[in-house]
């Protein structure tokens, strides 16, 4: 985001894990990123006085698009409970993002999951109660990338292959 704006964007990054937040600060500094404030904060608990023009919500998820099911440890940790917990957090984060998004603003919602329950289900459930809509992502930009079908027009789900990890992306506006 900083590179796209020639380091002119004012960016607020929220990371609830202190160690991950410190690692993020280190990486941003190493890359020469300016104008970024990293908060050790659970985004769901941000005060409603915050207001943003654009939000990148890279939501915690099961990681189903990145898993190698041949590895025993992943098959043991990839559980129904993990998916259910992820869905709950995703819904809460998306509701909060919509609450603090300025009118006319945009949210890019992404997960590294390929499961409809963590992607389309979450979007349909949350957006059905909000004055928000999906902005179609131009698939021509991804013409050489293998995609999975989605049930929401304009969203993208990348098929995991030996070249790509799977992930989901939707663009939302108020």
| 14 in active site | no
CA distance 165 to 162: 8
CA distance 116 to 98: 21
SS3 call for 79: coil
CA 103 from chain centre, in angstroms, equals 20
Give yes or no for a contact between 121 and 61, defined as CB atoms under 8 angstroms apart. no
SS3 call for 80: helix
149: left (phi over 0), alpha (psi -120 to 50) or beta: beta
Residue 9's contacts (CB-CB under 8 Å, 6 or more residues apart) are: 1, 2, 35
The CB density around residue 160, as the number of other CB atoms within 10 Å, is 18
Structure-block tokens of residue 112: 């590294």
Q: Which residues are catalytic?
A: 112
């Amino acid at each position: 985001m900083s590179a796209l704006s020639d380091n002119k964007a004012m960016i607020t990054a929220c990371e609830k894990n202190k160690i991950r937040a410190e690692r993020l600060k280190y990486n941003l500094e190493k890359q020469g990123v300016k104008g970024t404030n990293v908060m050790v904060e659970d985004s769901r608990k941000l005060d409603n006085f915050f207001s943003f023009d654009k939000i990148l919500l890279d939501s915690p998820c099961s990681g189903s698009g990145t898993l190698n099911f041949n590895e025993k440890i992943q098959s043991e940790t990839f559980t129904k409970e993990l998916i259910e917990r992820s869905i709950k957090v995703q819904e809460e984060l998306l509701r909060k993002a919509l609450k603090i998004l300025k009118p006319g603003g945009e949210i890019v919602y992404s997960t590294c999951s390929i499961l409809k329950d963590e992607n389309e289900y979450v979007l349909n459930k949350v957006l059905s109660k909000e004055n928000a809509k999906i902005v179609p992502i131009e698939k021509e930009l991804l013409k050489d990338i293998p995609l999975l079908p989605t049930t929401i027009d304009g969203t993208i789900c990348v098929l995991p292959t030996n070249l790509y990890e799977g992930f989901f992306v939707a663009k939302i506006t108020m």
